[in-house]
Structure 1
Amino acid sequence: MGPGPGADRVTTGLDVLHYAVSMGEDNRRECFVIAPIGPDGSDIRKRSDQILKHVIRPVVEERGYVAVRGDEIERAGLITSQVLDRIIQNDLVIADLTDQNPNVFYELAVRHALRKPFVQLLAKGQQLPFDVQGMRVILVDHTDLDSVHQAKDQLGRAIDAFGEGADIVTPMSVALALQELRGSASPREAGLSQIIETLPQMMDILQDVQRQLGTGGFAEGPADDDHRRLRTLVESLAARGGVTQDELTGLLGGGSSRFERWVEHLIQRVGRAGGHRPD
């Protein structure tokens, strides 16, 4: 009878311990791995183990880190507290967002709030939830050797960038910065917060305009109310200097005559106001 799953955990734990000792307690840096784990023998566990062994560990160990996943924590005590302690204290966190595991996202949110170094992985072919779609993620297919090689290269470059003083921006840090700007006594900073807050809506507007132009103009029917709301938002941005003449001019061509007249009217309004964003 061959060794069971427990033997693999013992071997992995010994590997981590051996590496930590070889590095020296004072010199080692710690990388905590947040990932969906799943029961022993499950496909989730098998994939998580392979990503840890073949993608994460080779890259981080080459850079002087010891990688530890939550199920490898050996100390006695409340596991949740130990996990959070590592998320807060460790030099680096790598989060595998595959399958949108709620525990992974909860733990990642803690790291986001701290604005400390982290890297996000995701199984190729999957999509991120809306709240973190704008953040960089490394896609990997663990069954494809070329994909694994590419992911390792991207992971290494992402980790190296932290050593170059890269600013760490997260959805939470942006929200906190906006809150501070909104409470500022400076009209300039308060106006800047309004412009920043409308950027996601502006992206939606531009995408909507592109779709509508592709179909020959704005559709009639229930969507009209949505279009009116979008136009109101654009007009508000134009009045505050949040849209330039050049950006509005880029919307011309291919739309309905009604839409074109509206854009031309906005361009004239922005031109009279100076045609640039406030400093």
Structure 2
Amino acid sequence: MITSQTLGQGPGEPRRCFVVGPIGDPHAAHGSPEREAYEHHLGIFEQVIAPACEKYGISAVRADGIAHAGDINEQICRYVVDSELVIADVSGGNPNVMYELGLRHITGKPTIHVGEAGQLPFDIASIRTIRYQRTRSHLAGARKEIESALEAGLRDGFELLTPARVLRGLQTGDEPATVSEVGYDRKGEDENSPGLLDDFAVIEDGLDDMAADMEAITKTIETIGALTEQCGTEMLDLTQANAPMGARLAAVARYAETISAPAGELNVVAAAFAERMATLDSGVRAALGLIEMTPLDERGEGVEDFLEQLMSLDEAAQDGLAQIGDFGNSAGAMVRISRHLRKPVKEISVAVKELTSAISRMGEWAARARELAHGPTA
């Protein structure tokens, strides 16, 4: 059991609560879903969470309230891990929130869940959550429930959640605590529903899928390159033979038709690659943050493999990026040759843009992985 001392940084020093939850977009147009989400969750923070914390002298801050300059993803990971208390709004099961919450659970530090009624993600529904509805009376009730939870935790200590107990049991070689021992409510539990470690395993599966995407992208680029070379040879022969423009235009039209299918395939695979990157990015960063906080002698066997996977994937991606960049430059020149090339070249250009952005993030993963595996380079 965690004692109330966990929340104190020292005599006379302020206590801190990091609030994890959806943020929304404050710059979105009025009436848009993104703006409504921002207003709603800001209201929950200002009307429910912050006042409850203030009652006990605890300073509450959201990610958009971090004042220090620096990498926001790294700052969030540190706040999630280091803060004496975390209150997480799990409404809707936002992927970033769930990964940040998973990272927090492993630390074993005090965490309180809140969420809008009817919007709780199924795989953590068994953990006690303070529920609220969008009415003044219900929000006031939720604030009082948070106050009661804080009062009880400060007085009696905050109980470890199941993930922390399981991991600590594994680390010490003891049998992990049973579900009933940690007060886990089994009502409505699905034995096949994913848990925290399953979620982190999904990251590795996603990285394998990204490697397969890169292989498909490379093969498609090679196919288009070979077709382009054939067309170039044919155009050279036609030029040397002083063939009429009609014959040259017909050759270009045939070339445009032959690359249409691989160009479309490249666009589809690139979109899937970029979408997978967006889904995995926060999870990979959270996993790297957790590894950084874990002493070398306490890391599991799979950590080195995970770091090596990130580095290997980046090496393959950088090779592909070089090909993609050269290809993108040549594709831009093709458009001026004939209107027949506009559609396939547009698809190729969109794919190049998506891949370049995604691969740059992969480089950031690999850089952190190298530091964690080998230490910072001079």
TM-score (norm: length of structure 1):
0.54
Q: CA offset at residue 195 of structure 1? A: 9.7
Alignment of 1:43-58 (within 5 A): 43-58=36-51
Larger Rg: 2
- The answer to whether structure 1 residue 156 and structure 2 residue 147 are counterparts is yes
User: C-alpha deviations, 1:40-89, integer Å up to 9, x for none?
Assistant: 24111011110011001111111101111001112111111111111122
Alignment of 1:124-203 (within 5 A): 124-130=117-123, 132-141=124-133, 143-176=134-167, 179=170, 183=173
Q: CA offset at residue 119 of structure 1? A: 0.7
Match of 1:119, SS state, is strand
**Paired letter, 1:155:** I
Structure-2 separation of matches of 1:194 and 1:82: 33
Structure-1 separation of matches of 2:48 and 2:161: 24
Maintained 8 Å contact 1:115/1:169 = yes
**Paired letter, 2:95:** P
Which residue does the alignment assign to 2:17? 31
Compare the two structures and name the one with the higher helix fraction: 2
Alignment of 1:1-279 (within 5 A): 26-40=12-26, 41=28, 42-130=35-123, 132-141=124-133, 143-176=134-167, 179=170, 183=173
Quick one: percent identity of the two aligned structures?
Answer: 29
Counterparts in 2 of 1:64 and 1:134: CA distance versus 1, 3 Å: same
**Paired letter, 1:78:** D
Structure-2 separation of matches of 1:83 and 1:202: 33
Match of 2:101, SS state, is helix
Counterparts in 2 of 1:178 and 1:195: CA distance versus 1, 3 Å: farther
TM-score (norm: length of structure 2):
0.41
Q: CA offset at residue 135 of structure 1? A: 0.8
Unaligned runs of 5+ in 1: 1-24, 206-279
User: C-alpha deviations, 1:104-147, integer Å up to 9, x for none?
Assistant: 111111111111111111111223322x2221101011x31111
User: C-alpha deviations, 1:229-275, integer Å up to 9, x for none?
Assistant: xxxxxxxxxxxxxxxxxxxxxxxxxxxxxxxxxxxxxxxxxxxxxxx
Maintained 8 Å contact 2:21/2:90 = yes
**Paired letter, 1:77:** G
Structure-2 separation of matches of 1:136 and 1:106: 18
Which residue does the alignment assign to 1:264? none
Q: CA offset at residue 169 of structure 1? A: 2.5
Which residue does the alignment assign to 2:215? none
**Paired letter, 1:169:** L
Maintained 8 Å contact 2:110/2:158 = no
Structure-2 separation of matches of 1:57 and 1:202: 32
User: C-alpha deviations, 1:182-221, integer Å up to 9, x for none?
Assistant: x55xxxx69x86998xx9699779xxxxxxxxxxxxxxxx
Maintained 8 Å contact 1:178/1:193 = no
Give RMSD over aligned pairs: 3.1
